[in-house]
Amino acid sequence: MSKLSTSLGRSGNPALTSEVFNKSITSQGEVMTLQGTVNKTTLSLFLLVLSGAYTFYTENFDFIYPGLIGGFIVAMITIFKKEWAPITVPIYAVLEGLALGGISLVYDNLFPGEGLAMKAILLTVSIFAALLFAYKTRIIKPTANFKLGIFAATAGIAIFYVISLVIGLFGGDYPEVLNPLNGGFMSIGFSLFVVVIAALNLVLDFDFIEEGAEKGAPKYMEWYGAFGLLITLVWLYLEILRLLAKISSRD
CA distance 214 to 64: 38
Is 50 exceeded by the pLDDT of residue 2? Answer: no
Structural domain includes residue 17: no
CA distance 94 to 91: 5
**Mean pLDDT in residue range 172-190:** 90
Going 201 to 250 to 58 to 99, the CA torsion angle's sign is positive
Structural domain includes residue 173: yes
Return the H-helix or E-strand segment holding 215.
helix 185-215
Structural domain includes residue 19: no
CA distance 21 to 249: 44
Is 90 exceeded by the pLDDT of residue 6? Answer: no
Going 18 to 141 to 128 to 133, the CA torsion angle's sign is negative
Residue 3 — pLDDT band, cuts 50, 70, 90?
Answer: very low
Structural domain includes residue 47: yes
Q: Is 216 helix (H, G, I), strand (E, B) or coil?
A: coil
What average pLDDT does the structure give for the chain?
A: 89
Strand boundaries in the chain, DSSP class E = none
Is 90 exceeded by the pLDDT of residue 30? Answer: no
CA distance 239 to 158: 13
Residue 240 — pLDDT band, cuts 50, 70, 90?
Answer: very high
Is 70 exceeded by the pLDDT of residue 20? Answer: no
Do 226 and 40 contact (CB within 8 A), yes or no? yes
| DSSP states of 37-52 | HHHHHHHHHHHHHHHH
pLDDT of residue 27: 45
Query: 145: left (phi > 0), else alpha (psi -120 to 50), else beta?
Result: alpha
Residue 118 — pLDDT band, cuts 50, 70, 90?
Answer: very high
Residue 55 — pLDDT band, cuts 50, 70, 90?
Answer: very high
Among residues 3, 10, 22, 8, which one has the least CA distance to residue 202? 10
Structural domain includes residue 52: yes
Please tell me the total count of domains within the chain.
Answer: 1
pLDDT of residue 7: 38
Residue type, 67: G
Structural domain includes residue 6: no
Q: Which residues contact 32 (CB under 8 A, 6 or more apart)?
A: 212, 213, 216, 217, 218, 219, 221, 222, 225
Structural domain range at position 194: 29-248
Structural domain includes residue 22: no
Q: Tell me: the pLDDT tens digits for 121-179?
A: 999 999 999 999 999 999 998 999 999 999 999 999 999 999 998 988 887 777 889 99
Among residues 66, 91, 94, 75, which one has the least CA distance to residue 14? 75
Structural domain includes residue 13: no
pLDDT of residue 250: 81
